[in-house]
Homo-oligomer: A and B are copies of this chain.
Amino acid sequence: MPRVVVDVMLKPEILDPQGKAVHGALFRLGFEGVVDVRQGKRFELEVEGELTPDRLADVRRIAETLLSNPVIEDFAVRVEAEA
């Protein structure tokens, strides 16, 4: 069954308090080689049957309208190896 991965990240110009908190914790714990952390979401969608261009267009529409907020977030859709 084909798996499509949708990554949703805050746009670079949007402040990311979650990422900042993780970065602060890393720094306090002594991991000083990390300069910045951004946190986002990852969705794995199992698609039925073959991954036709129509299905992929559906997934793009899903990512744009349901999984992300296009005002503040960017998304990327990519197909992973068949499970």
Show the binding face of A for B, using Cβ within 8 Å: 1, 7-9, 19, 22, 25-26, 29, 31-49, 55, 58-59, 62, 66-67
Contacts of A38 in B (CB 8 A): 43-44
Chain B residues within an 8 Å CB radius of A58 = 31, 33-34
* Whole-angstrom CA separation of A7 from B66 in the bound complex: 20
| Chain B residues closer than 8 Å to A34, beta-carbon distance | 45-48, 58-59, 62
How far is B79's CA from A43's CA once the two chains are assembled, in angstroms? 19
CA distance A61 to B32 in the complex (A): 13
- Residue pair A62, B26 in contact (C-beta under 8 Å): yes
Q: Is the CB of B9 within 8 A of A35?
A: no
